[in-house]
Structure 1
Amino acid sequence: MASDSKSFARRDRLLEIEVAVRKLWEDEQVFRAESRENLPKEGEKFFSTFPFPYMNGYLHIGHAFSLSKVDFASAYHRLRGANVLLPFGFHCTGMPIKASADKLSREIQQFGNPPVFTAEDNTKVVAEVEEESSDTPALPGQFKGKKSKVAAKSGGQVYQWEIMRSFGLTDSEIAEFQDPYKWLYYFPPLAVEDLKAYGLGCDWRRSFVTTDVNPFFDAFVRWQMRKLKSMGKIVKDRRYTVFSPLDGQPCADHDRATGEGVQPQEYTLIKMEVVKPFPLKLGPLEGKNVYLAAATLRPETMYGQTNAWVLPDGKYGAYEISETDVFILTERAALNLAYQNFSKIPQKPSCLVELTGHDLIGLPLRSPLSVTDIIYALPMMTILTNKGTGIVTSVPSDAPDDYMALKDLNDKPDFQKKFGVKQEWLPSEIIPIINIPEFGDRAAEKVCLDLKIKSQNDKEKLVEAKRLTYLKGFTEGTMLIGEFVGRKVQEIKPIIKTKLIESGEAIIYSEPEKPVMSRSGDECVVALTDQWYITYGETEWRNMAEECLSKMNLYSEETRHGFEHTLSWLNQWACSRSFGLGTRIPWDEQFLVESLSDSSLYMAYYTVAHFFHGGEDMYKGSKSLIQPQQMNDEVWEYLFCDGPYPKSSDIPSAEKILFRII
């Protein structure tokens, strides 16, 4: 025992020093930052902030790793004599906490309180946790729950109760977390303890939590939203948005378990009419207009359609779009359409007949713009049913995939026989539609020959073939057919799309670029929603942002490129939601302010937070010299926007504090 004790003496001594130094820092208020009036002279200032972490669990090693950069930089400037402000707040706005609380409630309803999971359930949980965490180092001590935390972001595949147990909570304690506000009061104080143990050089008087449990921050966000609206920067609009059907609201980045940064992808959905008489399987659809619905990104190529493709073993359905129209496509695509107002029952796909790809092979079709009057549905083995509609138009002169699939059918009689393909269904010729420099008017055939592609299963080579031809075809290709002969593809692409939609031969269809899972555990769709948006892409704002970026001293060109990329696509950003925690939109209180929109200016709040919260209370400001209702827009304007001095006679204490702040 003696030898064991001696071996830890140096470590124990270091720990003693650490405790003593932390106490010294606190007693001497080393990290408190005051405004310049309270300093002997004005000198260099350094203000550093860290993206405030979300409070649906403990802080973890990733936070410490990133925070170390801010902490070290602050210490460096402090040693140089600068007046350094390093604050730290806690984010609770949005749906992750509410979603987790609701998961606990559902698990109690399903499995009891405390829940009793079957052996099979527990085996599944362990396997998924390990799989999700295979590349994540385990954390020591109380942070051993990191694996479960990672798995928790995988779309609800792990029970929330198990995640909470991994935090070291008892079953009776876990049950209390069905109330989402329990999370707000439980985890932030523990985070403060951990950060103090870490040794963060922070002015803790300025810490705060978001949502309406903090009436001062709530008032700050309300002012922010009212100001943006008065400037014309917030508008109400209908647009395509990634949406969680389970939560019944848009699913922003912070609300996603997977798919951060994924945006809606817009397609032109081509209505390929099924020619009557219908086969027996489609008998229940008599009297309806029935279409195979094919999603395309290249409507200008529809002149060259020779057939349609279906996945033989794919699952399809005939879905009611309206009283008269029926679309044949996958269930996934039908769900997206239902949330875009293309369903007889809004937001609920109505399937009249369940089908497979085998049922569709050989269907005669009339397709918009095709120079061939009747084309047929044929089998293609490489169709993905988790993208698009599962129905694909075939343009073999321009699309390498189509060219090789058609070549396989023509060259392999056994393949035709297997799927009952008749010779008369096969197109007799390839139809040139676009001339591309270096590739000619049969670009797909040339690039497949150049790359020695053998079949439709040469996926990597086909990806390369499309890379070589598609962009060049768009930027340099000229039309050889139709009313726009001789014109550049990039000029007439939007024109053809508009004509197809206006004629009723196509509709706009949108879906997520990649799969998105909400933190509630369901796969998201794209919905056409009516909500409030911040117009970040407005010309004046974007020009100001670009000018600011040009003056910024960045340490990496990669960082600058990241900013430039974001400015290039950021346009309207949904700032309202109907589910979760946060601040109500002042003029439309059925909505909450979206979690990223309430955190765009929180760094400014740090500069005054210590006056509102009395240096102790992160929540309701019980020690404050001023009341939340006194913080009207006039006061916020004076604090942050050089507004006129507040004249209201009912805020004498505010005047006193404002003098001290400014």
Structure 2
Amino acid sequence: MATESGKSFARRDRLLEIEKKVRGWWDEKDVFRAEPCEGTPKPGEKFFGNFPFPYMNGFLHLGHAFSLSKLEFAAAFHRLNGANVLLPFGFHCTGMPIKASADKLAREIQKFGNPPVFPKEADSVELQPEPEDANSGMPPEKFKGKKSKAVSKSGGQMFQWEIMRSVGLSDVEIAEFQKPEKWLTYFPPLAMEDLKDFGLGCDWRRSFITTDMNPYFDSFVQWQMRKLKDMGKIVKDKRYTVYSPLDDQPCADHDRASGEGVQPQDYTLIKMEVMPPFPPKFKALEGRKVFLAAATLRPETMYGQTNAWVLPEGKYGAFEVNDTDVFILTERAALNLAYQGFSKTPKQPSCLAELTGYDLIGLPLKSPLSFNKVIYALPMLTILTDKGTGIVTSVPSDAPDDYMALQVLKAKPAFREKFGVKDEWVVPFEIVPIINIPEFGDKAAEKVCLDLKIKSQNEKEKLAEAKRLTYLKGFTDGTMLVGECAGMKVQEAKSLIRTKLIETGEAVMYSEPEKRVMSRSGDECVVALTDQWYLTYDDLEWKKLAEECLSQMNLYSDETKHGFEHTLGWLNRWACSRSFGLGTRIPWDPEFLVESLSDSTIYMAYYTVAHFLHNEDMYGNNKTHRIRPEEMTDDVWNFIFCDGSYPKSSKIEPSILNKMKQEFTYWYPFDLRVSGKDLIQNHLTFSIFNHTAIMAKHHWPRGFRCNGHIMLNSEKMSKSTGNFRTLRQSIDEFSADATRFSLADAGDGVDDANFVFETANSAILRLTKEIAWIEEVLAAEASLRTGPPSTYSDRVFENEINIAVLTTKKNYEKCMFREALKTGCYDLQAARDEYRLSCGSGGMNRDLVWRFIDVQTRLITPICPHYAEHVWRELLRKDGLVVNAGWPTADSPDETLKAANKYLQDSIVLMRKLLQKQIMGSKKSNKKGAPAATLTEEKITGLIYVNEQFDGWKAECLNILKSKFDRNTGTFAPDG
């Protein structure tokens, strides 16, 4: 088959045909159905692996497939080894993205028609800005008056309707997606079909979707939340939380278009009072207390203030905090404060006057703790208005930036004149020693700047190093010289000074996101002080249990282990409730939904019993009604998962109840969970916490394997650039097995991996050529040499097969699939090719050829199961299915033989090089064209040195070399 471009797809299409046929065999035998055996399984007898269920707001892509492939390869390996394997798969629909996208689509239809006719200029469209992935929307009541950044296909970001069109949906179909339920019924079945075509060895009876659309899973989540609350693990509290003003609810990691993992950063907001008389620009502020509000992480240094810094071109405002106080700061900071209780109207900043930094320069200030009774606002050109409040305190004794900026102002009258800075605002102010730091003294910033020879504010790298040295040393080793905490270590004094400043009203608490966070609804998030439900992940006793669980787990890499340890170190209370989106209602407070990461912590246990509840329907539509949702009471869940007493009042048949409990106790704990490393900081750590709280110790997780993201052809995978493939596209383009082959080859570590299209294309060629070779060899089987392996080449090849069996098994056990592909495919096939050449006219040994085909088929089965199944049944005519045929046996490798053969092959390569050099030299010296000198047998044998450790193989190696040398031509035979 060829296209108009002339490129043939016959090999790819052959693989696709094989895959379709093999899936029929698997379905016929129901080979991936997982049933528990009697009794408690011994180590290695069962394998339960799972994967974080993907979010169903679109199609599965190669990023999903890459992480999933690690689990699939591991499960297939254990199945091949004879283990009873459970690999289930669910579909996540909880949270904001689906609801937001559906709402967004509805607004587009309302505004632009059905189907919509979009304007050419996106800037004229009254729509909310879209995040990069554009799978989002917002509540209709919060939509009015927002300006759009949505652009057409050529501009990167698109309308939701255009996104739906781009994935092949018709206009008639798209209109149906205004209802969130459509997403839940459309994408999960398609994802299931894609995974079946991918060859996933899944027990699909256990699949489910989340949200209250599935009443059984809804019951499971409600039980879990009630249990945690009864244990004191869920409490109501006021906490600083990353928050979406547009959605009017906390914005957890899964709700973010960008900024995943970003936490609130707490500051002390210093109230620097503006002293009267006020300038004309401040006329609207007369009768109020007006403060420049500066955010600092170092309240203990306020004794040494010499001035405040403002950005001359910066935009500021005077915002009402209450009836008397006004804060001057950036609008962004004012919005954060408004969500923390510092605005006249909650969540709504009230600006009394718009100002610039020029309006603030020269304002006299009375600042808390400062030894200078009056300081002045001065210009600094390096202030960032997207961090803090845009107002900065200046402590040149301990802050290198402040020291250099003050020196510039003092040394350059022209610079002062440019910004209207009077001499008396700057010149009289000297460094005030406040902290003594060993090695740096009591003027640390000055010393470090001099030591590093910093001469300008523009030397950013040197200043960054100066700050690192002074801030770290100041905190760990510094001693206070002044104030009530004089003589105390800085790390002890910091919190005391901060508390006193807040208690006296000279400062307030302030928090903002560490970095910019964009919600999926398209707005920039703030930090809000919210009264809501929290999981107490900061509880020390609970953390100890999590640490104990972690210490017993197989994490496969030190980087993964360190990631978990770091997360356990900083993880605090986690907001587990929300008000917008899809999901399960908080059972005791139904105004709120369970947050999407908090309903997904122990659901792996749900897989063990899901098929009893759903009757093979992922939505919980149990047609037999053997168990009704309302019959899944807390007592029933406790009996199944928590060794609770038998629920005598339950209407569920005792035999079914006992079978459900048996399933759980057989399969649990799960042996492996595979995930991207970005989930270490939330979902995976939450899973550890909640398992230790709810489950008995012998049911705690056994293993997490984390991987990095995947690139396509060495570039970031991105829809906007077109460097993107869905799983379906990859299967259609390369076949399932070639896709799996390339995923295995992409990389094994925690660093980002690389899916290379050329590798996938090469896999198509390799697999189809191997099939053709096997067919050719089997057709000419009568010409093969019979009898037991006897020659040196036979013994070398047999040894290489044994090596491949044992090393590949070790690689699979360590989940090093790229290495398994190398040892079980590349290296083994290379050994076969060497064997073919070395046999020469004598031919290959039939038994060895059959063993090679058998072994190589089994070794590659976890990665290319369709190819392997075809070879197993159609070519080798074996009984049963290769996916559970058993791992091949092998004798212990003969390392001496391996080394001897390596010596032989290296010698042949060396001799060829020497021969080529001899011939080229002879040609140069014989200008008349006389025959080049030939090498005699004596010359050849004179080059051979065999170490004593090889004495058993010495003579045979020498004879092989002799047999391959042609004395007439002075060359080695092509097959030598």
Q: Judge same fold: TM > 0.5, yes or no.
A: yes
Aligned positions, number: 637
For residues 511-539 of structure 1, what are the alpha-carbon distances to aligned partners after superposition, in whole Å with 9 as ceiling and x for unaligned?
00000000000000000000011112212
Please state if 1:263 is matched with 2:263: yes
CA separation in 2, counterparts of 1:158 and 1:62? 22
Cα distance change, pair 81–234 in 1 and its aligned pair in 2 (3 A): same
How much has 1:82 moved relative to structure 2? 0.4
Moved over 6 A (4+): 1-6, 38-43
RMSD: 2.4
Any stretches of 5+ residues in structure 1 without a counterpart?
134-150
Q: Which amino acid aligns with 1:194?
A: D
Cα distance change, pair 132–334 in 1 and its aligned pair in 2 (3 A): closer
How much has 1:270 moved relative to structure 2? 0.3
CA separation in 2, counterparts of 1:394 and 1:493? 17
How much has 1:417 moved relative to structure 2? 0.9
Which residue does the alignment assign to 2:97? 96
How much has 1:8 moved relative to structure 2? 3.9
Which residue does the alignment assign to 2:376? 376
Which residue does the alignment assign to 1:614? 615
How much has 1:41 moved relative to structure 2? 11
How much has 1:567 moved relative to structure 2? 0.9
Please state if 1:644 is matched with 2:645: yes
How much has 1:540 moved relative to structure 2? 1.8
Cα distance change, pair 613–414 in 1 and its aligned pair in 2 (3 A): same
For residues 468-514 of structure 1, what are the alpha-carbon distances to aligned partners after superposition, in whole Å with 9 as ceiling and x for unaligned?
11011001001111122221100110000000000000000000000
Pairwise mapping of residues 341-380 of structure 1 onto structure 2 (< 5 A)? Answer: 341-380=341-380
CA separation in 1, counterparts of 2:212 and 2:587? 13
* Structure 1 SS opposite 2:265: strand
How much has 1:15 moved relative to structure 2? 1.8
Q: Which amino acid aligns with 2:202?
A: C
- Does the CA-based 8 Å contact 1:270-1:506 persist in structure 2? yes
Is 590-599 or 549-558 further displaced after alignment? Answer: 549-558
- Does the CA-based 8 Å contact 2:404-2:456 persist in structure 1? yes
- Does the CA-based 8 Å contact 2:615-2:621 persist in structure 1? no
Cα distance change, pair 8–307 in 1 and its aligned pair in 2 (3 A): closer
Which residue does the alignment assign to 1:138? none
* Structure 2 SS opposite 1:532: strand
- Does the CA-based 8 Å contact 2:271-2:507 persist in structure 1? yes
Q: Which amino acid aligns with 2:279?
A: P
CA separation in 2, counterparts of 1:202 and 1:379? 65
Which residue does the alignment assign to 1:141? none
TM-score, normalising length from structure 2? 0.63
* Structure 2 SS opposite 1:48: strand
* Structure 1 SS opposite 2:584: coil
Q: Which amino acid aligns with 2:572?
A: N
* Structure 1 SS opposite 2:498: helix
- Does the CA-based 8 Å contact 1:613-1:623 persist in structure 2? no
For residues 617-662 of structure 1, what are the alpha-carbon distances to aligned partners after superposition, in whole Å with 9 as ceiling and x for unaligned?
434333452110110011101110011111115x143x23112222
CA separation in 1, counterparts of 2:9 and 2:472? 65
Pairwise mapping of residues 396-545 of structure 1 onto structure 2 (< 5 A)? Answer: 396-426=396-426, 427-545=428-546
Which residue does the alignment assign to 1:136? none
Greater Rg over alpha carbons, structure? 2
Pairwise mapping of residues 36-185 of structure 1 onto structure 2 (< 5 A)? Answer: 36-37=37-38, 44-121=45-122, 158-185=158-185
Which residue does the alignment assign to 1:563? 564
CA separation in 2, counterparts of 1:484 and 1:491? 9
How much has 1:120 moved relative to structure 2? 3.1
How much has 1:186 moved relative to structure 2? 0.7
Q: Which amino acid aligns with 1:255?
A: D
Percent of residue pairs identical: 75
- Does the CA-based 8 Å contact 2:132-2:257 persist in structure 1? no
Cα distance change, pair 3–358 in 1 and its aligned pair in 2 (3 A): closer
CA separation in 2, counterparts of 1:660 and 1:517? 47
CA separation in 1, counterparts of 2:573 and 2:435? 35
Cα distance change, pair 623–27 in 1 and its aligned pair in 2 (3 A): farther
Which residue does the alignment assign to 1:140? none
Which residue does the alignment assign to 2:339? 339
- Does the CA-based 8 Å contact 1:617-1:623 persist in structure 2? no
Cα distance change, pair 60–246 in 1 and its aligned pair in 2 (3 A): same
CA separation in 1, counterparts of 2:422 and 2:158? 50
* Structure 2 SS opposite 1:514: coil
How much has 1:249 moved relative to structure 2? 0.3
- Does the CA-based 8 Å contact 1:616-1:623 persist in structure 2? no
* Structure 2 SS opposite 1:528: strand
How much has 1:160 moved relative to structure 2? 1.9
How much has 1:391 moved relative to structure 2? 0.3
* Structure 2 SS opposite 1:543: helix
Any stretches of 5+ residues in structure 2 without a counterpart?
134-150, 663-976
Cα distance change, pair 647–290 in 1 and its aligned pair in 2 (3 A): same
* Structure 2 SS opposite 1:352: strand
How much has 1:413 moved relative to structure 2? 1.5
CA separation in 2, counterparts of 1:338 and 1:122? 29
CA separation in 2, counterparts of 1:109 and 1:336? 33
Which residue does the alignment assign to 2:752? none
How much has 1:3 moved relative to structure 2? 10
CA separation in 1, counterparts of 2:410 and 2:624? 82
Q: Which amino acid aligns with 1:360?
A: L
Cα distance change, pair 157–495 in 1 and its aligned pair in 2 (3 A): farther
Q: Which amino acid aligns with 1:246?
A: L
- Does the CA-based 8 Å contact 2:2-2:9 persist in structure 1? no
How much has 1:2 moved relative to structure 2? 8.4
Which residue does the alignment assign to 1:320? 320
Pairwise mapping of residues 298-317 of structure 1 onto structure 2 (< 5 A)? Answer: 298-317=298-317
* Structure 1 SS opposite 2:79: helix
CA separation in 1, counterparts of 2:308 and 2:372? 12
